[in-house]
Amino acid sequence: MRDAQPSTIFLSDYRVPDFLIDSTHLQFELGEDSTSVCSVLAMRRNPDAAEQGAPLKLHGTELELISLAIDGRQLSDAEWSQSGEELIIDNVPSSFSLSCETRLRPQENTSLEGLYKSSGMFCTQCEAEGFRKITYYLDRPDVMSVFTVEIIADKERYPVLLSNGNLMSSEEQASGKSKTVWHDPFPKPAYLFALVAGKLAVVDDQFVTMNGRCVDLKIYVEEKDLDKCDHAMLSLKNAMRWDEEVYGREYDLDIFNIVAVDDFNMGAMENKSLNIFNTSCVLAKPETTTDAGFQRVEGVVAHEYFHNWSGNRVTCRDWFQLSLKEGFTVFRDAAFSSDMGSPTVKRVEDVTLLRTAQFAEDAGPMAHPIRPDSFIEISNFYTVTIYEKGAEVVRMIHTLLGPELFRKGSDLYFDRHDGQAVTCEDFVLAMEDASGIDLQQFRNWYSQAGTPQLMVSGVYDEQTKTYTLSVKQSCPATPGQPQKAPYHIPLAVALIGEAGQLPLNLDGVEADIETADNTERVLNVSLAEQDFVFKDVEEEPVPSLLRGFSAPVKLVFDYSRAQLLRLMRNDSDGFCRWDASQHLGLLEIKSAIATQAALLEPEYIDVCRDILADTSLDAAMVALMLQLPSEAYLAEIIHPVDVHGIHLARESVRKALANALKDELMACYSRCQSNEEYAATAEQIARRSLKNTALSFLMLLQEDRFTQLAVSQFDTSSNMTDRLAALSCLVNSDAEYKAEALQLFYQQWQHEPLVINQWFQVQAMCHLPGTLKTVKELMSHPAFDIRNPNKVRALIGAFCGQNGVNFHSEDGAAYRFLADQVLLLNRSNPQIASRLLVPLTKWRKYLPAAQKLMYAELERILSEPELSSDVYEVVSKSLQ
Ligand code: ARG
Ligand code: ZN
């Protein structure tokens, strides 16, 4: 908690550190009420520092200081002082050894940052600034040190003692304790430090690297979870191989550990050779985990592994550069998942997240560039902008350079900066130097916030056989950035004729990137207004624009229904086909809003019927094309947002479609049934996805036979994907069986916390009236625990963030409910509190009555006397 108004930190204030830490020796004595930490730091003045006589300022927070010595001499109270999070020692030599003892109470640490306990085990989370809750230190990523860690603990309670790097020794001590020493030869910033102690079971495997080195792979979990590690282990080995093949990156130690922890604020953490994971991102087995869960495990395991190069070997100079490691690593894990499964499906999923959550963030009060220039609390900047938009920016570089030059660029980046803490600018420079391609204007993507809009129109001239695409770009104002300079936007295009793609002959010397077959080009859009003229176009084409979603922009093109139908049927780009389906769906929803009735266009029904019957198509794509744009996406394009109007219109269109295609949906459902043994393969996942999409449409018809289908799917399926899909259908219907199904499900799975989270979530997301009451009741359920972030996200987060109609109930009861939970969590876990708060911050989008109620709750939160810096930043910025 803060004592004064939290202050803003600026990128422009960056200075190199005054001191360096050559080596860090830590000794932990883990106890039942407190833990003692003794550190010995080999420090010296940084020769590059501006001021050579500067005092030593160490970061530390919520620490009990026991002793402090320099070169073995205890400091008197007069020799040091404290101010805010800093411990200041005025006179220090140019090089010295600093010894410090602190006492911590991990048992009472509910913030899940620093050293804390989760289900009986000790664990750490130090990124971004958690290490200062362990000992006084230079807790900034550009101070890199070689760590040696001694852990002393009761050997019965904590038989497994882990830290980074190599195991040096392990010995029994007197009085039932044991001591383990770890040494990490790679200098690293404190945020990559980790420690784990507990009673853990382990799954072992090995990986032989491209140079023949054998690496021990270990996944540590609770005994009862030993049967849920296979998928993570396979994903890890696949990721290790992929990074060698695609980036030439080899693993650099003889051991790689993963530990699963129940209480964790985020997904996982890439600590050097000791990745710590939220159980939800590592455990998986068919009976307990959905297909989406399997894919998330694969993606997160790979993400954390890839950080070993993009994050650890080359790290960030300061936290403004966070996207340097996160954007690049998300780009890498997306390409990996795409190679492991279905590329188009992965792309559609990623674009969907971007266009809902990230576009909303870019349009809201917390909008920031992927390299922000200021923040109050860095924990608030682990955002979809830093991660997902950051990945899109790297992807655009990949598109502009092409795969070979991009690889040359990444090789140069890793070679040049191995062992360093660097900036986004260093990354872009390496890409420029390796490729010879000018990225000067492209850098605006790093400095400007907001989602650019591309207004495109096309004119065909029958006489001259030319087709002219006119492109106008603009970007709305965002907090602190009223004006935007034009972006360099790679715009991938094709022209679709009656029988397929037309050859492209661009007029003029406008630089552009040509693809192999000359029917797709990447246009370099760089001016506010620009024309591209295609010659020798033999027929009037339909433009296929932003193919593969080549840039994170809002595209506006006034397509007619006929043009969209041509794209949806004929475009060779899977993303554009899907996008055309969404656009057609949007037109149906808009007309349902306007007419208050869902009279579907016959052509729309026809195209849906055709794709449902077309077994040559990827079933997952069929499912995605049939699903109408989500309410969250609609809230990004219809203004102001009438949540209830949108919901009713969308539901009525879904129901009308289900009615029109009843037989086809039923046939499709039956066709997709299968008795084969579960596997998380793209092909099986696709089939389940289509089957469950069909079921959810049929359930809207409220016919007994379809309810029976859901009941029997719930009763008989052995995999969680089908089971949960059926349960969700039942929960959202008026089926009598619903209460019993929920009860059965709970009884069967009460000992599996991750399954119970899904049970909470499916109820929290029910769009029927009365859900707020259910959520409140579930909060007193014995399985609920407000200190566990997964539970909070499953129940409160899902209700407030993904259940529009209930969250925006007209009496404002749910707004009040959320504000109450935020105030409660503000004390125990500020990071979770400020994340939960996000739906309220979007108040400006909604109708005036909703705005007023939401605003009042934000003001109520702001008036709380002891707000954490996390919550303070989000609330105060959203009221500005
Ligand atoms: N670096 C981690 C990852 O993306 C996430 C760290 C979470 N940090 C935090 N302050 N919550 O893999
Ligand atoms: Zn990451």
Q: How far is the CA of 258 from the centre of ligand 2 (A)?
A: 15
Whose C-alpha lies nearest to ligand 1, atom 5? Answer: 269
What pLDDT score does 515 carry?
60
Q: How far is the CA of 325 from the centre of ligand 2 (A)?
A: 7
Atom of ligand 1 nearest to the CA of 300: 12
Q: Does 651 participate in catalysis according to the annotation? A: no
Q: In angstroms, what CA-CA distances link 393 with 369, 447, 535? A: 11, 12, 31
ipTM, two decimals, is 0.97
Ligand 1 close to Cβ of residue 304 (< 6 A)? yes
pLDDT tens digit sequence for 815-853: 999 999 999 999 999 999 999 999 999 999 999 999 999
- Rounded to 5°, the CA angle 331-333-334 comes to 65
Q: How far is the CA of 328 from the centre of ligand 2 (A)?
A: 9
What pLDDT score does 612 carry?
97
Percent of the chain with pLDDT over 70: 99
Q: Taking all residues of the chain, what is their mean pLDDT, rounded to a whole number?
A: 97
Q: How far is the CA of 406 from the centre of ligand 1 (A)?
A: 26
User: What average pLDDT does range 109-129 have in this prediction?
Assistant: 98
Q: Among all ligands shown, which has an atom nearest to the Cα of 130?
A: 1
Query: Residues 462, 463, 465, 466: what is their CA dihedral angle, to the nearest 10 degrees?
Result: -90
Q: How far is the CA of 112 from the centre of ligand 2 (A)?
A: 18
Contact 488, 524 (CB under 8 A): yes
pLDDT tens digit sequence for 415-469: 999 999 999 999 999 999 999 999 999 999 999 999 999 999 999 999 999 999 9
What pLDDT score does 34 carry?
98
Name the DSSP class of 386.
I
Name the DSSP class of 557.
-
DSSP codes of every residue in 43-58: EEE-TT-S-TTPPEEE
Ligand 1 close to Cβ of residue 269 (< 6 A)? yes
Atom of ligand 1 nearest to the CA of 268: 12
pLDDT tens digit sequence for 779-798: 999 999 999 999 999 999 99
Ligand 1 close to Cβ of residue 379 (< 6 A)? yes
Q: How far is the CA of 125 from the centre of ligand 1 (A)?
A: 9
Q: Among all ligands shown, which has an atom nearest to the Cα of 191?
A: 1
Q: HSE, CB side, 13 Å, CA atoms: give it for residue 661.
A: 33
Whose C-alpha lies nearest to ligand 1, atom 3? Answer: 269
Q: How far is the CA of 359 from the centre of ligand 2 (A)?
A: 20
Helix axes 704-716, 682-699, angle to 10 degrees: 140
Contact 36, 66 (CB under 8 A): yes
Q: Among all ligands shown, which has an atom nearest to the Cα of 124?
A: 1
Ligand 1 close to Cβ of residue 191 (< 6 A)? no
Select from 375, 382, 385, 834 the residue to mutate for testing ligand 1; criterion: most ligand atoms less than 8 Å from CB: 382
Helix axes 682-699, 643-660, angle to 10 degrees: 100
3-state SS, 424-441, equals HHHHHHHHHHHHCCCCCH
Select from 126, 269, 319 the residue to mutate for testing ligand 1; criterion: most ligand atoms less than 8 Å from CB: 269
Number of H helices, E strands in the chain: 30, 33
Among 150, 222, 270, 304, the one annotated catalytic:
304
Ligand 1 close to Cβ of residue 524 (< 6 A)? no
User: What distance in Å separates the CA atoms of residue 37 and residue 104, rounded to the nearest whole number?
Assistant: 8
> Strands 255-261 and 214-221, how do they pair?
parallel
Q: How far is the CA of 273 from the centre of ligand 2 (A)?
A: 14
User: What average pLDDT does range 584-607 have in this prediction?
Assistant: 96
Output the pTM of the full model: 0.98
Atom of ligand 1 nearest to the CA of 129: 10
Atom of ligand 1 nearest to the CA of 128: 10
Ligand 1 close to Cβ of residue 326 (< 6 A)? yes
What is the band of 1 on the pLDDT scale with cuts at 50, 70, 90? very low
Contact 382, 322 (CB under 8 A): yes
User: What distance in Å separates the CA atoms of residue 258 and residue 125, rounded to the nearest whole number?
Assistant: 14
Ligand 1 close to Cβ of residue 386 (< 6 A)? no
For the beta sheet containing 201-208, the strands, ordered from the edge strand earlier in sequence to the opposite edge, are: 201-208, 214-221, 255-261, 274-278, 268-269
Contact 683, 703 (CB under 8 A): no
Ligand 1 close to Cβ of residue 501 (< 6 A)? no
pLDDT tens digit sequence for 509-543: 554 566 657 899 999 999 999 999 999 999 999 99
User: What distance in Å separates the CA atoms of residue 82 and residue 79, rounded to the nearest whole number?
Assistant: 11
Atom of ligand 1 nearest to the CA of 311: 1
Name the DSSP class of 719.
S
Q: What are phi and psi of 453, to 5 degrees?
A: -110, 135
Atom of ligand 1 nearest to the CA of 326: 4
Q: In angstroms, what CA-CA distances link 66 with 91, 162, 434? A: 20, 25, 52
pLDDT tens digit sequence for 78-103: 999 999 999 999 999 999 999 999 99
Ligand 1 close to Cβ of residue 113 (< 6 A)? no
pLDDT tens digit sequence for 251-275: 999 999 999 999 999 999 999 999 9
Ligand 1 close to Cβ of residue 266 (< 6 A)? yes
Ligand 1 close to Cβ of residue 128 (< 6 A)? yes
What is the band of 598 on the pLDDT scale with cuts at 50, 70, 90? confident
Q: Among all ligands shown, which has an atom nearest to the Cα of 267?
A: 1
pLDDT tens digit sequence for 546-584: 999 999 999 999 999 999 999 999 999 999 999 999 999
Amino acid type, 469: L
Percent of the chain with pLDDT over 90: 97
Ligand 1 close to Cβ of residue 265 (< 6 A)? yes
pLDDT tens digit sequence for 291-333: 999 999 999 999 999 999 999 999 999 999 999 999 999 999 9
Ligand 1 close to Cβ of residue 127 (< 6 A)? yes
Q: Among all ligands shown, which has an atom nearest to the Cα of 834?
A: 1
Q: How far is the CA of 88 from the centre of ligand 1 (A)?
A: 29
Q: Compute the residue count for the chain.
A: 880
- On the question of pLDDT at 2 being above 70, the answer is no
DSSP codes of every residue in 159-203: -EEEESSEEEEEEE-STTEEEEEEEEEEEE-GGG--EEEE--EEE
Amino acid type, 853: L
- CA 786 to the chain's CA centroid: 22
